[in-house]
Amino acid sequence: MSLRVSDLKVYYKTLKGQVKALDGVSFEVGDREILGLAGESGCGKTTLGKSLIRMDGRMRHIGGTVELDGEEMPIGDDRRMNAFRFHEVSLIPQYSMSALNPTRKIGKMVAELLHSRGVALDAGKLRGRLDAVGLPHEVLDRYPIELSGGMKQRVVMVVSTLLDPSLLIADEITSALDVSTQKAVAGALAAFRDDGLVKSMIFVTHDLSLTYQIADTIMVMYAGKLAEKAPAKEIVEAPRHPYTRLLINSLPEVGVRYADRKLTGIAGSPPSLLNPPKGCRFRDRCPLAFAQCEQEPPVVEVAPNHSVACWKA
Amino acid sequence: MRRYFGRKLLVYGLTFFVAVTINWMVPRFMPGDPVSSMVARTGASNPAAAETMRVYYTGLFGLDQPIWQQYFNFWATLFQGDFGISIWAFPTPVSEIILGAVPYTLALMIPAILLSWVVGNWFGAYAARRKALDNAVLPIGYILTAMPYMWLAVLLAWGLGVVAGLFPVAGGYSFSTRPNWSWDFFLDLLHHWTLPFASLFLAALGGWAIGMRNMIIYELESDYSNYLSALGAPQRLIRRYAFRNAVLPQITGLALQLGVLVAGALVTEIVFSYPGLGSLILKAIQNQDFFLLQGTFLFIVLGVLIANFIIDIVYVVVDPRTRAGMAGAQA
Ligand SMILES: Nc1ncnc2c1ncn2[C@@H]1O[C@H](COP(=O)(O)OP(=O)(O)O)[C@@H](O)[C@H]1O
Ligand code: SF4
Ligand SMILES: [Mg+2]
């Protein structure tokens, strides 16, 4: 088992109180597995991704544990967490277009980054990785501003995976791209896994149909909690949670994606996590809600590798 | 690259041309007879002296010649470094007076601007995101920038000059000495230079420090810093990048400062009776010395343009984005 997250709670400290953005989430990601993380905006996907590599100043690790390859990661301890970053856990951020220092040539920046982490630069390996994503070696001699958006994205992908991390987190990295580039990027990510550059991956997106193309398993989150997790095919063909069903019904047809389609299919919006509702957090939008839903539904394994948190599942 | 500088030079050339033309137009299109009013204003009691001046100025303006001829003559004399003759210090040439004042202004302003820039940026960069230091640098910086410059200058003159008696508060050198190339005179110059320098240095210091601090914090919160942090890069590297990127807008700020160098000197030189270009402008206005004002003005325009051109070059060297922009413009 590559990654094991148990009852993880991460809150944001705000002036109004704690935002319970991640409120007791447990799941596992196996070796060579790509986990697709889905859910509407505001469900806690980014919070989960950041918790696994670097929490920002407002995030607090309230409880739960994260184990990577059998070793517990001190996610709440910024200092000690550094040993894991880049080497064991790495990130392709949402903001790839602006992730590179504008005043450094890319090759120099990579060299300085590696040097600062005490790693010798393996020029041959770096060039091989550029070849793999179809970038000319000259990009090393360029400033970020001289590259197109797609090239910057691929540079970031190469940099992030240079040390062959065990876990790679990719957060909404395709949102800003056009459909054909999205496919190419998703393909490159799958190749990273197939070639053994990364052991496992969490691919975050609010776009279920794109997740379906590359993920082995899909986990749907709602309001800081796990709603449903199952093999990709199963979750799309036989969803059990009412929320998942609505998400899938709102898609035109799985595998086909219309450029700017938003998830407009579900009435209402996720609750504020400052004071999340008691019981099932999906209750006020759920067409199947009934009396028992005032109690929080536990996560139950309804079939092998298929977990759902719903009284009606 | 060539085209970029070509374009810049063209803009600067045009600016200079317009400035000179306006300078030429003002006395000619002023209502009344500039020559007689100027001569009258000097209050030359001796009719012979007044007549000498009158003849000289009429000839200089060349009012009897066609207007285009006057204009070309103006440019011709300009290129010979001839700005005319001062009324206030008749018959000293304006160029001579200006050249005498320039070293004082430069010796005051350039160290003050450069040192406050270097020290301020260093302080600001160092304090950013370092709690204890930041809590000290920020309020001190705000006090220094918020305080009207006049107060600061007067406070220094009064505290260190009048009360403590450590430094003289007026003049570029002691009245009892004449400028000469001796060690004593140099020390005397330095002694007189200290207070006006300190006032300029302190006034600019706070602004640079606060600006740099804010820029660094902005850079530390930018995406590339977050990415590096996520990959576990040490603060040292991230701060180094942040500093380099934060310094770029500060260079623009420095350029602007150098550009208006003489304007900054004006108040200082008046408060401390320092014999630079600023004092000269004041004297020219008080004495309605049109040629002196005109000459000083042209000299300042030239200085501003040269300073800006130098900064353009520096910018191209330090910021790859300008270079990339130029490449884009050529493609
Ligand atoms: N810096 C923050 N301060 C307070 N609340 C936050 C902050 N960032 C995110 N949140 C809240 O945490 C919840 C989860 O956000 P996020 O993880 O960004 O969701 P997603 O990535 O699924 O869109 C949301 O309710 C959001 O409002
Ligand atoms: S527990 Fe109840 S409210 Fe929640 S999803 Fe299931 S049926 Fe709907
Ligand atoms: Mg997000």
User: Tens place of pLDDT for every residue, chain A, 313 residues?
Assistant: 799 999 999 999 999 999 999 999 999 999 999 999 999 999 999 999 999 999 998 999 999 999 999 999 999 999 999 999 999 999 999 898 899 999 999 999 999 999 999 999 999 999 999 999 999 999 999 999 999 888 999 999 999 999 999 999 999 988 777 888 888 888 899 999 999 999 999 999 888 888 888 999 999 999 999 999 999 999 999 999 999 999 888 766 544 444 444 445 688 889 999 999 999 999 999 999 999 999 999 999 999 999 999 998 8
Cross-strand partners of A12: A19, A59
Residues 6+ apart with CB under 8 A from B86: B92, B93, B94, B97, B289, B291, B292
Q: Per-residue DSSP letters for chain A? A: --EEEEEEEEEEEETTEEEEEEEEEEEEE-TT-EEEEE--TTSSHHHHHHHTT---TTEEEEEEEEEETTEE--TT-HHHHTTTBTTTEEEE-TTGGG-S-TTS-HHHHHHHHHHHTT----HHHHHHHHHHTT--GGGGGS-GGGS-HHHHHHHHHHHHTTT--SEEEEESTTTTS-HHHHHHHHHHHHHHHHTTSSSEEEEE-S-HHHHHHH-SEEEEEETTEEEEEEEHHHHHHS--SHHHHHHHHTSSBTTB--TT----SSSS-PPPSSSPPSS-TTGGG-TT--GGGGSPPPPEEEETTEEE--TT-
Query: What is the side-by-side order of every strand in the sheet holding A71-72?
Result: A17-29, A3-14, A59-68, A71-72
What's the gap in Å between the CA of B127 and the closest CA on chain A?
19
Q: What whole-number distance in Å separates Cα of residue B13 and Cα of residue B261?
A: 20
* Beta-strand relationship, A17-29 and A89-92: unpaired
Under an 8 A CB cutoff, do B245 and A103 touch?
A: yes
Range of the domain at A235: 3-95+165-180+199-308
Do the domain assignments include residue A36? yes
pLDDT score recorded for residue A22: 96
Domain assignments of chain B as residue spans, ordered by start: 2-27+94-330, 32-82
B234 CB near a chain A CB, below 8 Å?
yes
Residues 6+ apart with CB under 8 A from A93: A99, A156, A171, A173, B223, B226, B227, B230
Residue A38 belongs to domain with CATH number:
3.40.50.300
Do the domain assignments include residue A258? yes
> What are A13-54's pLDDT values in tens digits?
999 999 999 999 999 999 999 999 999 999 999 999 999 999
B219 CB near a chain A CB, below 8 Å?
no
Q: Terminal CA-to-CA distance of chain B, rounded, Å?
A: 12
* Helices and strands per DSSP (H, E), number in chain B: 14, 0
Whether the predicted pLDDT of B27 surpasses 70: no
Question: Which is the closest atom of ligand 1 to the Cα of A274?
Answer: 25
Q: What whole-number distance in Å separates Cα of residue A253 and Cα of residue A249?
A: 8
- Please name the CATH architecture into which domain B2-27+94-330 falls: Orthogonal Bundle (1.10)
Question: Measured between alpha carbons, how far is residue A281 from residues A106, A203, A223, A309, B236 in Å?
Answer: 45, 24, 7, 10, 44
* Beta-strand relationship, A167-171 and A200-204: parallel
What's the gap in Å between the CA of A181 and the closest CA on chain B?
22
Q: Ligand 1 within 6 A of A37 CB?
A: no
Which ligand has the shortest distance to the CA of A94? 3
- Asked if B249 and B319 count as a contact pair (C-beta separation under 8 A), the reply is no
With H, G, I as helix, E, B as strand and everything else as coil, classify residue B131.
helix
Looking at residue B129, the DSSP 8-state letter turns out to be: T
- Distance, CA A288 to ligand 1 centroid (Å)? 27
Residues of A in contact with B232 (CB under 8 A): 82-87, 117
Q: What is the Cβ-side half-sphere exposure of residue A264, based on CA atoms within 13 angstroms?
A: 4
Do the domain assignments include residue A52? yes
Which ligand has the shortest distance to the CA of A48? 1
Residues of A in contact with B237 (CB under 8 A): 112-113, 116
Do the domain assignments include residue A215? yes
Under an 8 A CB cutoff, do A145 and B236 touch?
A: no
Do the domain assignments include residue A100? no
pLDDT score recorded for residue B240: 94
Q: Which of A281, A283, A302 to mutate to test the pocket of ligand 2 (most atoms within 8 A of CB)?
A: A283
> What are B34-87's pLDDT values in tens digits?
567 667 766 666 777 777 777 777 776 666 678 788 888 888 888 887 777 777
Stretch 17-56 of chain A: residues touching chain B, C-beta under 8 Å: 53-54
Residues of A in contact with B241 (CB under 8 A): 101, 103-104
Q: Which of A281, A292, A293, A294 to mutate to test the pocket of ligand 2 (most atoms within 8 A of CB)?
A: A293
Phi, psi of B203 (to 5 degrees): -60, -35
> What are B72-120's pLDDT values in tens digits?
888 888 888 777 777 777 778 888 898 888 889 889 989 999 999 999 9
B330 CB near a chain A CB, below 8 Å?
no
pLDDT score recorded for residue B145: 85
Q: How many CB pairs under 8 A join A and B?
A: 73
Which ligand has the shortest distance to the CA of A279? 2
Report the alpha-carbon angle A18-A22-A26, nearest 5. Answer: 145
B245 CB near a chain A CB, below 8 Å?
yes
What's the gap in Å between the CA of A84 and the closest CA on chain B?
8
CA-closest candidate to residue B225, choices B252, B249, B251, B244: B244
Q: Write b or e for each residue in B162-186: b if 16 or more Cβ atoms lie within 10 A of its Cβ, otherwise e.
A: eeeeebbbeebbeeeeeeeeeeeee
pLDDT score recorded for residue A195: 93
pLDDT score recorded for residue B180: 81
Q: What whole-number distance in Å separates Cα of residue A214 and Cα of residue B63?
A: 87
What tokens were used for B202? 């302190």
What tokens were used for A4? 């094991």
> What are B234-276's pLDDT values in tens digits?
999 999 999 999 998 888 788 778 767 766 778 888 888 899 8
CB-based burial label for B18 (10 Å; 0-12, 13-18, 19+): exposed
* Beta-strand relationship, A167-171 and A89-92: parallel
* N residues, chain A: 313
Residues of B in contact with A90 (CB under 8 A): 230-231
Q: What whole-number distance in Å separates Cα of residue A285 and Cα of residue B6?
A: 65
> What are B188-218's pLDDT values in tens digits?
889 899 999 999 999 889 999 999 999 999 9
B321 CB near a chain A CB, below 8 Å?
yes
What residue of B is the nearest CA neighbor of A115? B233
Do the domain assignments include residue A91? yes
Q: Number of folded domains in chain A?
A: 1
Which residue, by CA, sits nearest to atom 12 of ligand 1?
Answer: A21
- Asked if A44 and A38 count as a contact pair (C-beta separation under 8 A), the reply is no
Residues 6+ apart with CB under 8 A from B328: none
Stretch 139-168 of chain A: residues touching chain B, C-beta under 8 Å: 143, 145-146, 156, 159-160
What residue of A is the nearest CA neighbor of B319? A103
Under an 8 A CB cutoff, do A91 and B320 touch?
A: no
Q: Ligand 1 within 6 A of A13 CB?
A: no
